[in-house]
Structure 1
C-alpha cells in the first residue's frame, strides 16, 4: 500500500477512537469502538489454544475490521439498530473497501462476506467474542450505567452465538454468573 493511501486508511480507522459505544469502562467513561475491537482481538489470541484448528491470523483480522463501518455511521447499540441501519453501514463500508488497493480490497471483502455468512469456525468464534466482550465490559462498568433492558441482555445476549463451542458456552455461563453477582450486590 502506498504511504499516502495507508495514511488515508489509518485516518479513517482513527475515527473509531472517538466513536463511543453504549458501554462504559470500569473507570467511568464511554468505551470507544476501537477499544472494543482491540479487546476482542486480544480475546481471540487468548482463546486460540481452545481452537487449534482455527486460522488465528484470519480470526484476528476479522476482529480488527469487524466494526470499521462504524467509522462512517457511528455505533448504534444492537438493541436499537434497524435493518436499514445495517444496510446503510454495509453499503458505505463496501464502497470504501472497493477503494482499497489489492490485496486488501479483495481480502477484506472476502472476510466481511465470511463474517456475514457465519459458516466458518473463525467467523463463528469472532461473532461469539464480539457478543461476549460487550457483556464482560458491562460487568466491568458501574451498574448505574446500565439501562433496564441490559439486566435481561446480560442473561441472554450471545447465548445462540456460543452454542457451537463447549468452551465459549462455559465462558458465557461465567459471564452470566458474574452478572448475577453484580446485580445481587447492587441490590444490597
Structure 2
C-alpha cells in the first residue's frame, strides 16, 4: 500500500476513536467505537482455550474490522438500527474496501462475507462476543445511563447468538447475573431514599 493511501485509510479508521457508541464507561463518559472493538478483540484472544478448533486470529480480525463502517456512518444503537441503516453501513464498507489495493480487497471482502453469513465457528464466536461485550459495558457503566428498555433488553440481547456453544451460553448467564444484580441494587438504593 502506498504511504499516502495508508495514511488516508488510517484517517478514516481514526473516526472509530471519535464516534461515540450508545454505551458509557465506568468513568461516566461515552465509549468510542474503537474502544468497543479493542475490548472485543481482547475477549476473542482470551476465549481461544475454549475453542481450540477455531482460527482465533481470524476471530480477532473480525472483531477489529466489524464496526469499520461506523467510522463513516457513526454508531446507531441496536434497538434503533433498521435494515436501511444496515444497508447504508454495508455500502460504505464496500466502498471503502473497493478503494484498497487488490490484496486487501479480496481478504476483507471474504472476511465481511463470512461475518455476514454467520455460518463458520469463527463468525459465531465473533458475533456472540460482540453482543456480550456490549452488555458487559452496560453492566460496568452507572445504571443511570441505561434507558428503561435496556432493563429487559440487556437480559435478552445476544441470547440467540450464544446458542451454538455451551461456553457462550454460560458466559451469557454470568453476564445476565451481573445485570440482575445491578438492577436489584439500583432498586434497593431507590427504596432507601
TM class by smaller structure: over 0.9
Trace 1:165-176 onto structure 2 (pairs within 5 A).
165-176=165-176
* Unpaired segments ≥5 residues, structure 1: none
Deviations 1:75-134 (A, max 9, x none): 000100111111011111101101101311110010000000000000000000000000
* Number of residue pairs matched by the alignment: 188
Distance across 1 between alignment mates of 2:144 and 2:179? 13
Distance across 2 between alignment mates of 1:154 and 1:67? 20
The aligned counterpart of 2:121 is 121
Structure 1 runs of 4+ aligned residues shifted over 4 Å read none
Distance across 2 between alignment mates of 1:59 and 1:101? 23
The aligned counterpart of 2:86 is 86
The aligned counterpart of 1:137 is 137
* Unpaired segments ≥5 residues, structure 2: 189-193
Give the TM-score of the pair, scaled to structure 2: 0.96
| Correspondence 1:7 to 2:7 | yes
Give the TM-score of the pair, scaled to structure 1: 0.99
Q: SS where residue 68 of structure 1 aligns?
A: coil
Distance across 2 between alignment mates of 1:5 and 1:50? 38
Offset, 1:21:
0.3
Deviations 1:132-169 (A, max 9, x none): 00000000000000000100111100000000011010
| Correspondence 1:159 to 2:159 | yes
Offset, 1:26:
0.3
CA RMSD of aligned residues (A): 0.6
Distance across 1 between alignment mates of 2:179 and 2:43? 19
The aligned counterpart of 1:57 is 57
Distance across 1 between alignment mates of 2:154 and 2:75? 19
Distance across 1 between alignment mates of 2:3 and 2:49? 36
Distance across 1 between alignment mates of 2:114 and 2:22? 26
Distance across 2 between alignment mates of 1:83 and 1:11? 27
Trace 1:61-80 onto structure 2 (pairs within 5 A).
61-80=61-80
